[in-house]
């Protein structure tokens, strides 16, 4: 517990809230900015003496219940609430499992990206959202049951419908290594998630390679900067790989883009056109 930093943080948040924001009268004798200490204590359902000692850096460790009350009283954001718990030495418990809900703004972004194959994965490598070009380059995930849209299973347990393991990528070995590292870290963050546990169990039973890599207990990994897809229609497609973390969702936005004026750019243009034709034919 960092008592001094916690005290400074509490004071700074208290001074930024006006009485009107929490339904209290301002009054004519208020000489301090924001709320008074006793007002925060009242809103948090704790004693004024204890809250005062917290702001003075003299109080013992607050309980999770006390911190929840203070966070509510001060109107803290999720980021501020998490910071408050870390300062108090009682980090928030992790979510029961990785999020599978993709923000609408991310889905819209995927559709607006020009000549970019993009998709979103969960911490457990479930493909949660994708654009048309990603479907044309890799697989039409809309035609796959949600339970089977998992890149870890695809990498270790079976080929895609056309018989190609992992869509014919050039870096399949490195990708499988990164899958193991990321899954190991995800299980550490979500130890009670049954989906992750079942996934790891299936991979251990079905893949000797996964079992050997899993036994190393590594959680690091080098970023993949480029890869080549051996596409059955347009041939080799080399793309640059950018993987962006989606804030507070424990998801990753994966973007594949070709070098400008390259043969791979033309191949992706062709795939985009073919995909548009299929959509038109089915409508």
For residue 51, what is the domain's CATH number?
Answer: 1.10.260.40
Q: Give the chain's largest Cα–Cα span.
A: 77
CATH number at residue 186: 3.30.450.180
- Shared domain check, 251 and 145: yes
- Shared domain check, 274 and 242: yes
Residue 36 resides in a domain = yes
Per-residue pLDDT of the chain in tens (283 residues, 90 and over written 9): 678 888 888 998 888 888 777 777 766 676 777 888 888 898 889 999 999 998 888 888 888 888 888 988 888 887 788 888 888 888 776 667 788 889 999 999 999 999 999 999 999 999 999 999 999 999 999 998 888 899 999 999 987 666 677 898 998 899 999 999 999 988 888 888 889 999 999 999 999 999 999 998 877 766 778 999 999 999 999 999 999 999 778 899 999 999 999 999 999 999 999 875 654 444 3
Domain that holds residue 40: 3-87
Residue 44 resides in a domain = yes
- List the structure tokens of 195: 């989906």
Residue 93 resides in a domain = no
- Shared domain check, 41 and 154: no
Instruction: Give me the number of domains the chain comprises.
Output: 2
pLDDT at 282: 44
Residues 143, 164: Cα–Cα separation, whole Å = 17
Q: Which residue intervals of 158-262 are DSSP H helices? A: 172-189, 194-206, 208-214
Q: Which residue intervals of 16-129 are DSSP H helices? A: 37-44, 48-55, 64-74, 78-87, 104-112
- Shared domain check, 132 and 241: yes
Residue 29 resides in a domain = yes
- Shared domain check, 18 and 144: no
Closest CA to 278 of 116, 131, 164, 136: 136
- Shared domain check, 146 and 77: no
Using left for φ > 0, alpha for ψ between -120 and 50, and beta otherwise, residue 97 falls in beta
Closest CA to 70 of 88, 93, 91, 89: 88
Among the candidates 62, 87, 112, a domain finishes at: 87
- Shared domain check, 238 and 117: yes
Q: What are the backbone angles phi and psi of residue 103, rounded to the nearest 5°?
A: -60, 145
Residues 119, 30: Cα–Cα separation, whole Å = 53
- Shared domain check, 125 and 78: no
pLDDT at 283: 35
- Shared domain check, 117 and 21: no
CB burial of 182-208 (b: ≥16 within 10 Å; e: otherwise) equals bbbebbeebeebebbeebbebbeeebe
Among the candidates 53, 87, 121, a domain finishes at: 87
Residues 148, 66: Cα–Cα separation, whole Å = 43
Q: What are the backbone angles phi and psi of residue 112, rounded to the nearest 5°?
A: -90, -10
pLDDT at 141: 93
Residue 94 resides in a domain = no
Residue 73 resides in a domain = yes
Using left for φ > 0, alpha for ψ between -120 and 50, and beta otherwise, residue 243 falls in beta
- Shared domain check, 108 and 66: no
Residue 55 resides in a domain = yes
- List the structure tokens of 68: 């929840």
3-state secondary structure of 261: coil
Among the candidates 87, 113, 147, a domain finishes at: 87
- Shared domain check, 126 and 262: yes
Residue 95 resides in a domain = no
- Shared domain check, 139 and 68: no
């Amino acid at each position: 517990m960092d008592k001094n930093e916690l005290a400074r943080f509490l004071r700074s948040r208290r001074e930024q809230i006006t009485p009107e924001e929490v339904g209290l009268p301002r009054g004519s004798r208020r000489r301090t900015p924001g709320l008074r200490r006793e007002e925060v204590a009242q809103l948090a359902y704790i004693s004024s003496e204890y809250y005062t000692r917290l702001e003075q850096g003299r109080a013992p460790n607050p309980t999770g219940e006390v911190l929840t009350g203070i966070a509510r009283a001060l109107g803290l954001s999720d980021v501020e609430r998490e910071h408050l718990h870390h300062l108090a030495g009682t980090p928030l418990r992790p979510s029961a499992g990785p999020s599978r809900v993709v923000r609408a703004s991310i889905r819209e972004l995927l559709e607006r990206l020009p000549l970019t194959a993009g998709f979103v994965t969960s911490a457990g490598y479930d493909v949660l959202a994708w654009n048309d070009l990603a479907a044309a380059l890799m697989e039409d995930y809309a035609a796959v049951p949600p339970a089977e849209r998992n890149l870890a299973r695809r990498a270790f347990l079976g080929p895609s419908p056309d018989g190609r393991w992992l869509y014919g990528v050039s870096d399949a070995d490195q990708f499988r290594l990164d899958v193991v590292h990321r899954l190991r870290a995800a299980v550490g963050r979500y130890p009670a998630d049954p989906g992750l546990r079942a996934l790891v169990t299936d991979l251990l039973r079905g893949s000797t390679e996964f079992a050997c890599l899993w036994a190393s207990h590594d959680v690091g990994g080098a970023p993949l900067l480029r890869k080549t897809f051996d596409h059955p229609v347009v041939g080799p497609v080399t793309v640059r790989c950018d993987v962006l973390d989606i804030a507070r969702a424990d998801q990753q936005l994966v973007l594949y883009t070709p070098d400008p004026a390259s043969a791979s750019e033309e191949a992706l243009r062709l795939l985009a056109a073919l995909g548009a034709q299929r959509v038109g034919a089915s409508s």
